[in-house]
Structure 1
Amino acid sequence: MTAAPASPATGELTGVAGWAVGLMESLGGPGAALVVGLDNLFPPLPSELVLPLAGFAAGRGAFGLGSAIFWTTFGSVAGAVVVYLLGRRLGHDRTRRWVSRLPLVDTADFDRTAAWFARHGGKAVFLGRMIPLFRSFVSIPAGVEAMPFGRFLLFTTAGSLVWNTGFVGAGYLLGEHWPRIERYASAFQYFVVAGIAVAAGLFVVRRLRARKP
Structure 2
Amino acid sequence: MEIWIQQFMSQFGNLGVFLLIFIENVFPPIPSELILTFGGFMTASTSMSVASVIIFATLGSLLGALLLYALGYLLGSERLKPLLDQYGSIIHLSYEDVQKALKWYSRYEGKTVFFCRMVPLIRSLISIPAGMAKMSISAFILLTTLGSLIWNSVLVFAGAMLGEHWTDILTIMDTYSWITYGLLFVGLLAVIIRWIRKKD
Within 5 A, what are the aligned runs for 1:14-53?
15-16=1-2, 18-53=3-38
Change (3 A) 1:46 1:188: same
Which segment drifts farther, 55-64 or 141-150?
55-64
Aligned length: 183
Deviations along 1:84-113, one digit per CA (max 9) or x if unpaired, are 1111012267679xxxxxxxx9xxx99x94
Match of 1:167 in 2: 155
Which 5+ residue runs of structure 2 have no aligned equivalent?
82-95
Over 3 Å counting, the alpha-carbon distance change for 1:136 and 1:198 in structure 2 is: same
Q: Percent identity?
A: 36
- Decide whether the 8 Å contact of 2:105 with 2:113 is kept in 1: no
- Normalized against structure 1, the TM-score is what? 0.73
1:121 to 2:109 alignment = yes
Which structure dedicates a bigger proportion of its chain to helix? Answer: 2
Q: Where does residue 100 of structure 1 map in the other structure?
A: none
Q: Which residue of 2 aligns with 1:86?
A: 71
> Structure 1: any 5+ residue segments left out of the alignment?
1-14, 97-104
What's the offset of the Cα at 1:54?
Answer: 1.1
For 1:48 and 1:65, how far apart are their aligned partners in 2?
15
Q: TM-score, normalised by structure 2?
A: 0.77
Which of 129, 132, 140 is the matching residue for 1:141? 129
State the alpha-carbon separation in 2 of the partners of residues 33 and 64 from structure 1. Answer: 14
Deviation at 1:140, TM superposition (A): 1.0
Q: Which of 30, 39, 61 matches 2:46? A: 61
User: Which residue does the alignment assign to 1:177?
Assistant: 165
Alpha carbons of structure 1 residues 88 and 168: separation in structure 2 relative to 1, 3 Å: same
Cα distance in 2 for residues equivalent to 1:90 and 1:187: 35
Asked whether the equivalents of residues 95 and 144 of structure 1 are also in contact (C-alpha less than 8 Å), the reply is: no
Q: Deviations over 1:34-81 (max 9, x none)?
A: 111122112111212221011112222151111111101111111111
Q: Supply the RMSD in Å over aligned alpha carbons.
A: 3.2
1:23 shift after superposition: 1.4
Report the counterpart of residue 4 of structure 1 in structure 2: none
Which residue in 2 is equivalent to 1:71? 56
